[in-house]
Structure 1
């Protein structure tokens, strides 16, 4: 059944028209999607090479080493700031747990690096369907522990008490899962979590998924396959850490920022998650951006609605570290 839906933001039309390609199955299609989703620093850094530096580090993982990228400001005045003053942002990339890499979505954090002198660390993790959950969330939790333990060392150089974790889409799922694990395992402290249009639920049946399930880059069909890849067809790998929307008690979590587009398939589950956070006593800021589809900011970063979203996140971070 088709449902009436608010219109898409016309400023995003040019970016949206570029989406091409197959679904996630059969395996040949997934291979094509993976090839098209891989980014490199040389591609992503065009225009910011003189402002942001990039180095890599290998982090011990549960099964094998995890590659991470470290981004920091090149501004001379930022170099003189003490590590104790700096904020660290640990980023988990999107891609449905089955594609993309650590550079995907990082462009939306460039302002935090340039304006807040944030140190951004973005990690790889094992992908589905070869490695179903909880492989992804355990890799990310291992990266979180390592970053927290090594925060004050020169390689990272930020205050471990000012660690924020963030991610978009599947990266938002992993951010929420890591935050819950940190609470339940009495892990290192987290100052706040930033969830960009996070993938939180496993039902694939919300109103927003029905309204916008035909809208690329992430369709309802993509979502169904990715859920099976990550959780199994019988959801044998589902828990509150891999499906955070299943958690009914979110108390004890850090301050949270959630944003999502009005035309995003995950709009409904993200709004519900914000309500559960509020009902659990967690300070939460929620934004729903008019006419914006899934991943709008990273694919159309110059659009007005994308710039509004990036500014709102930056303002939240500034208030968080005051």
Structure 2
């Protein structure tokens, strides 16, 4: 008889696109673990992050696993409290994001509970895994700031406890092949068209460059809401003849556009790892990103412009579109084949 594989539960309370891709890859790449997967749909954020222990109240298997791997959308502390058989099970807590550093839209109010879920989850876990150093530092700094705002009875050393059991373990990307012929004047946008990605800044820059007569073409990709975002509507109205792709494309077509693009732009106000930019850079597109968030970990200074400086963005694009492109960036440290052994090591440490 062979050695029994360690049993692990993957608990993902918000199966959105990047969370789903990570979970799918992890289970496929780590067959040495006997996985049981429990996920909730990626919608109704406020209910998901607070209500997942209730949603799973009667759904968890009767037999406890050898290991829990929960995303930071999971209220791990409450889950362990409701199920005493899980109290002593080793737990990894994986941060795709953290609520301390997430920018709120004009329609949102700051609320305390999502931050407290992730604070308690961090304390309840044996190890905290982060997809970037920025994610880790902003979480720890956010916890420290929150605790200073509490009126009394705050124990000492909370941040130190969390820091001691924190480490980096990025989400991998599947590298994209370059096209046989690249278009150095094809500018790619492959992010969500939502407030935290600041698409209005991108639209303003491209319209300004068009007004100067700078030649370029646009591939406007990425997930968009049902109602057309104002930034996308502006680009469609102002630059229809320059748009060569517009929509959330099938995967093969999406990868083709990445392989053709000369430049990929981010104007994000929030980015914990930036998978879309890493994918574009893997295909050879030159990344142009804010000098903030996770980006300094990934791209050299020539690829970064001062955060929030739209004039600097326009100036860099003008230069690059004029033929002065920097070298391609090596993002192979984030390739799946490089990260699979790291994940195997992390899982093996506790799943014994």
- Normalised by the size of structure 2, how large is the TM-score? 0.41
- Normalised by the size of structure 1, how large is the TM-score? 0.44
* Larger RCO (CA within 8 A; separation ≥ 6): 1
